Amino acid sequence: QVQLAESGGGSVQAGGSLRLSCRASGNTASIRDMAWYRQPPGEQRSLVATISRPGGKRYADSVAGRFTISRDNAMATVFLQMNDLKPEDTAVYYCKVTNSYRDYWGQGTQVTVSS
């Protein structure tokens, strides 16, 4: 089993920055991919960025160049640095980790960007 604890959400004005963190506990040695998803109000959840255990990264087109995903395998933590935030980035952000057996989801953290 893996448990996830997210932090770092909040409210910011357009153009500002936030850094999200998601720390895994439990059977962390089995974790492979780590990712961030988001769900705006009234919309479906979608992928923001993903990072493999060796460090390969992939981003949604809407955040490429503004967001950076990183991970600390020793701390079993994934980060999302969000710069130049826009009102359309407003959403609940969820981390997800994947091991050999299944996906695990965090509880979500709210990010609100005002214009």
Which pLDDT score is estimated for 69? 98
Give residue-wise pLDDT tens across range 20-78.
999 999 999 889 999 999 999 999 999 999 999 999 999 999 999 999 999 998 989 99
Q: What are the distances in angstroms from CA 90 to CA 37, 38, 73?
A: 12, 9, 28
1 touches 67 (CB < 8 A): no
On the 0-12 / 13-18 / 19+ scale of CB atoms within 10 A, 47 is middle
Mean pLDDT, residues 5-16: 97
Closest CA to 20 of 65, 74, 77: 77
Task: Give, for 36, the enclosing helix (H) or strand (E).
Answer: strand 34-39
Mean pLDDT, residues 101-109: 95
